[in-house]
Amino acid sequence: MCEMADLLTFGALLERHEKEIFAYALRLVGDRDDADDVYQETFLAAFRAWPPPRRGQERAWLYRIATNKVIDRARRRKHLVRMSDLRLAAPERDGVSLADLAAAIKVLPEGQRAAFVLRKVEGLEYAEVAQALECSEDAARQRVAEAMKKVREAMR
């Protein structure tokens, strides 16, 4: 779908961001069926709430919706989300295996886990992480720093 500066359609939003939103959902919930649900709920919520609140920041808006959907699901189920399936996650780096990383991320509290995945796996800027998690940029940095500390400790 063409890049229309001032004419955004559902399809344009979907085609631009569906891959990363699905991958993000899969990293957070760790299960394909659950990721499928989060992906669907995220885009349906975006379509129902149309138009996006701020032009040019649709990506952070989608991440915010997806994060909230994951947290809602976890609360409903009253147990921590799993992080066992990282097939779409970043490749092995610095001798750290995905399994190690997955295990380390698994023990993080929800807010820190989302901040860590958004920043360190999805590569979002801190401003975008803050928007996605509806917190200040400082708080986003703090969550990522805390998460990093815990991940490093877990992987020693």
Partner 1 sequence: MNVQLADAREHLLARARREGLETVGYRVVDSPLGPLWIAVGPKGVLAIHYGGEPSAAELARIVRTYGPGLLPDARRVDPVARELDQYFGGTRRRFDIAVDLTPLTEFQRRILSATARVAFGEVSTYAKVATQAGSERASRAAGQALGANPIPIVVPCHRILASDGTLGGYAGGLDAKRRLLGLERREVPAGGWPKRS
What is the binding site for partner 1 (CB under 8 A)? 1-2, 4, 7-12, 14-15, 18-19, 22, 26, 32, 35-36, 39-40, 43-44, 47-48, 50-51
For residue 91, what are the CA distances in angstroms to 40, 50, 101, 108, 152? 26, 35, 11, 20, 18
For the record, the structure tokens of 152 come out as 């490093």
Task: Closer to partner 1 by CB, 51 or 95: give it.
Answer: 51
Task: Closer to partner 1 by CB, 47 or 75: give it.
Answer: 47
Task: Closer to partner 1 by CB, 35 or 108: give it.
Answer: 35
For residue 39, what are the CA distances in angstroms to 28, 44, 110? 12, 9, 18
- Residue 9: CB partners within 8 Å, gap ≥ 6? 1
Q: How far is the CB of 136 from partner 1 (least distance, A)?
A: 31
Q: How far is the CB of 78 from partner 1 (least distance, A)?
A: 25
